Chain A
């Protein structure tokens, strides 16, 4: 595996030859070649000739897709650089085939003003993927006053969220939706009714009872999803529901969409790959918020991804060190890393027949770009050359020594996974290359 940061990689002319080009936005799924030049997609076709000086990479049928976009990650910088930095997090992103990530604002300090936004973007220039900062809904994510959306927008935030610190005050959430409209920013809701969930450590049910842990009832999510959908409908503003984990949340979103509400939603790979059983005997690597749920939820989430209720797969990449994880289960921090495993876990849905490859590209690239209103998600000629090459059959073991992220908190460690990114190109620059 070789990595090159964006400030060291140069744009090159690149002929990706003999691939399967999957570009749902442009209705393309065909065998062919893709030519990158001057940081743009220069041509898409068959039997393209490599211009002088172009590097040619023969793909042998591997997939060429628009660069993957993870719309929900925690990069931990500024403030918790021992867990992850913009550099290490985007490096993990590149390894996972992501050309861009949206960075949640719960850093220290919180990204609730333009100077923090600017700092993150400055760091990103030497990273391995594009970074789209998400600004805080409220000052300090304390849930009291609106943050400075206008200034943050000018500094580069693409959306707003108090992720990790759910907005308890419904009036504040309503005002956030309204005021976000002035600056054309999307509100991303971490929907959680804290009164029900605050002390919980895992999904409520038999297993929590058996382990003597306080449960987080599914209604803690569903009540808040309902509230956030109702406020979005009432204000006529768009809303994006983050990390959907329960069957009823999927139903609520489906119903809201049927009514014509401007709602989009994401789920994370762990919610369609694992159930609460992964906790076993207090394995804190399977602890996150919302918690892993039951089989019926997992099934409903797959159906939501299939039928279009859920628009995106986002990792909620949440690095934590041993300090936060190798402790008593109920004291352990919530969250798992996900950038390096998301694609493999999503490809499993394709192999299971839940979704087609084109739908996978929508979920991991086209839809996140559309929802956030950022470039990418398409291989149209002339667009920026953010491209990912996927070997859908490559098998690998996600061992500890292989983890690129600075933190190792993954429940998928030592799992044999199938399918991975082998080439990641951002703005015509190769950030990551593995065995091709």
Chain B
């Protein structure tokens, strides 16, 4: 079986498109790329001559930098484009931008956009490979893959683990991709948060919805807190950040019910003292910085694989 497997995806847009075998393979390739990042000369010629465009419609220092470092370590030529605004229909549309970029014959376009589904729209209009670096409130596949890589590295497996995801599930593309990814790999995913932030039908994505944080965290191997986005104004969702921190923040007390060696994760950037107590974020079980390191390795693996591997 092993010898017959081939990674055939040209785009990475949704974890739904990837099989368990695909994910397993990506994580193994990422493991091998991680080693490159630990060398004194952190560069291999794998993608020499390939053009990678970082098309970030939303500001994101961390993810953009991670992709840029990944592409550079593979010797690709990278360009960063941050169109002024994506929020209005005035000016250049996404399709216009896509067609303009296509005229420059890039090999890969990494897109971050505030609208769900925009990577699919891009892929319909250009020949280049499309890598989704976060689309609206939909998905963030590379983040979920780096989270899975981190968990597997620390726990030796994913299957059979209990992963608790706490917070704004509705607006979190990280949560969506992680629910799909972790359940596909055989983990149990429990979610909890204010009922206003638990979207309808989330259980059909494979998550168990818990009515309290304590219930979600009970016996968990992994506890992941999500960023509360203070800027979501158009809906009355939570009364105040203080109340959120008191009832849904991850504190040493919340963690009492988790496994003693539970990993603490956060996709960053953290609102310290809101969704996570500093004592937890900086504590011995926190793997938040490892997540960042593994992010580069996973993104190297994705860039390498969608270009056809070796």
Residues of A within 8 A of B (CB): 198-199, 204-215, 281-282, 326-331
Interchain nearest-CB distance for A213 vs B (Å): 5
Q: What are the 3 closest A-B residue pairs judged by CB atoms, nearest first?
A: A212-B138, A206-B201, A282-B117
Chain B residue numbers with a CB within 8 Å of A212 are: 116-117, 135-139, 173, 176
Task: List the A residue with the shortest CB-CB distance to B173.
Answer: A212
A-B contact pairs, 6 of them (CB 8 A): A208-B199, A209-B199, A212-B116, A215-B199, A282-B121, A331-B115
Q: Is B113 an interface residue (CB 8 A)?
A: yes
Task: List the B residue with the shortest CB-CB distance to A212.
Answer: B138
CA distance A364 to B235 in the complex (A): 41
Interface pair B117/A205, CB less than 8 Å apart: no
Partner of A326, one of B95, B115, B200, B205: B95
Interface pair A329/B202, CB less than 8 Å apart: no
* Interface positions of B from 108 to 127, Cβ below 8 Å from A: 113, 115-118, 120-121
Q: Is B234 an interface residue (CB 8 A)?
A: yes
Chain A residue numbers with a CB within 8 Å of B93 are: 326-327
Partner of A282, one of B113, B120, B170, B200: B120
CA distance A207 to B170 in the complex (A): 13
Residues of B within 8 A of A (CB): 89, 93-95, 113, 115-118, 120-121, 135-139, 170, 173, 176, 199-202, 204-205, 234-235
CA distance A327 to B74 in the complex (A): 33
Chain A residue numbers with a CB within 8 Å of B113 are: 328
Interface pair A209/B117, CB less than 8 Å apart: no
Interchain nearest-CB distance for B127 vs A (Å): 17
Partner of B201, one of A207, A282, A327: A207
Chain B residue numbers with a CB within 8 Å of A326 are: 93, 95, 121
Interchain nearest-CB distance for B172 vs A (Å): 9
Given A199-B234, A282-B117, A326-B95: A209 and B89 interface contact (C-beta under 8 Å): no
Interchain nearest-CB distance for B250 vs A (Å): 23
Interchain nearest-CB distance for A220 vs B (Å): 13
Interface pair B205/A206, CB less than 8 Å apart: yes
Partner of A328, one of B121, B200, B234: B121
CA distance A254 to B95 in the complex (A): 46
CA distance A205 to B139 in the complex (A): 17
CA distance A214 to B113 in the complex (A): 16
Interchain nearest-CB distance for A365 vs B (Å): 39
Interchain nearest-CB distance for A44 vs B (Å): 53
Given A327-B95, A331-B89: A213 and B234 interface contact (C-beta under 8 Å): no
Task: List the B residue with the shortest CB-CB distance to A330.
Answer: B115
Task: List the A residue with the shortest CB-CB distance to B86.
Answer: A328
Interface pair A211/B116, CB less than 8 Å apart: yes
Task: List the A residue with the shortest CB-CB distance to B235.
Answer: A199
CA distance A61 to B10 in the complex (A): 54
Given A209-B201, A215-B200: A327 and B89 interface contact (C-beta under 8 Å): yes
Chain B residue numbers with a CB within 8 Å of A214 are: 137
Instruction: Kindly list 7 other residue pairs between chains A and B, CB separation below 8 angstroms, not including A215-B200, A328-B121, A331-B89.
Output: A206-B200, A212-B135, A212-B173, A281-B117, A282-B120, A327-B94, A331-B115
Interchain nearest-CB distance for A284 vs B (Å): 9
Interchain nearest-CB distance for B138 vs A (Å): 3
Task: List the A residue with the shortest CB-CB distance to B234.
Answer: A199
Partner of A329, one of B95, B117, B201, B204: B117
Chain A residue numbers with a CB within 8 Å of B200 are: 204-206, 208-209, 215
Interface pair B94/A211, CB less than 8 Å apart: no
Interface pair A209/B205, CB less than 8 Å apart: yes
Interchain nearest-CB distance for B206 vs A (Å): 11
Chain A residue numbers with a CB within 8 Å of B234 are: 198-199
Given A281-B117, A281-B120, A329-B115: A210 and B201 interface contact (C-beta under 8 Å): yes
CA distance A360 to B224 in the complex (A): 56
Task: List the A residue with the shortest CB-CB distance to B170.
Answer: A209
Interchain nearest-CB distance for B27 vs A (Å): 24
Interchain nearest-CB distance for B225 vs A (Å): 20
Task: List the B residue with the shortest CB-CB distance to A333.
Answer: B89
CA distance A213 to B138 in the complex (A): 7
Interface pair B201/A205, CB less than 8 Å apart: yes
Interchain nearest-CB distance for A196 vs B (Å): 10
Task: List the B residue with the shortest CB-CB distance to A280.
Answer: B120
Chain B residue numbers with a CB within 8 Å of A205 are: 200-201
Interface pair B117/A211, CB less than 8 Å apart: yes
Highest count of chain B CB atoms <10 Å: which of A205, A211, A212, A330: A212
Partner of A330, one of B116, B139, B201, B204: B116
Interface pair B139/A328, CB less than 8 Å apart: no
Chain A residue numbers with a CB within 8 Å of B117 are: 211-213, 281-282, 328-330
Task: List the B residue with the shortest CB-CB distance to A209.
Answer: B199
CA distance A194 to B136 in the complex (A): 22
Given A199-B234, A327-B93: A206 and B204 interface contact (C-beta under 8 Å): yes
CA distance A212 to B113 in the complex (A): 13
Interface pair A211/B138, CB less than 8 Å apart: yes
CA distance A199 to B93 in the complex (A): 20
Interface pair B205/A329, CB less than 8 Å apart: no
CA distance A238 to B152 in the complex (A): 66
CA distance A213 to B95 in the complex (A): 20
Task: List the A residue with the shortest CB-CB distance to B14.
Answer: A281
CA distance A331 to B204 in the complex (A): 26
Interchain nearest-CB distance for A307 vs B (Å): 30
Chain A residue numbers with a CB within 8 Å of B139 are: 212
CA distance A23 to B66 in the complex (A): 70
Interface pair A210/B205, CB less than 8 Å apart: yes
CA distance A215 to B94 in the complex (A): 23
Chain A residue numbers with a CB within 8 Å of B173 are: 212
Task: List the B residue with the shortest CB-CB distance to A281.
Answer: B120
Chain A residue numbers with a CB within 8 Å of B199 are: 208-209, 215
CA distance A327 to B121 in the complex (A): 7
CA distance A212 to B15 in the complex (A): 13
Chain A residue numbers with a CB within 8 Å of B136 are: 212-213, 330
Chain A residue numbers with a CB within 8 Å of B95 are: 326-327
Interchain nearest-CB distance for A329 vs B (Å): 5
Highest count of chain B CB atoms <10 Å: which of A199, A215, A331: A331
Chain B residue numbers with a CB within 8 Å of A282 are: 116-117, 120-121
Chain B residue numbers with a CB within 8 Å of A329 are: 115-117, 121
Interchain nearest-CB distance for A153 vs B (Å): 37
Interchain nearest-CB distance for A431 vs B (Å): 37
CA distance A391 to B260 in the complex (A): 73
Chain B residue numbers with a CB within 8 Å of A328 are: 94, 113, 115-118, 121
Chain A residue numbers with a CB within 8 Å of B235 are: 199
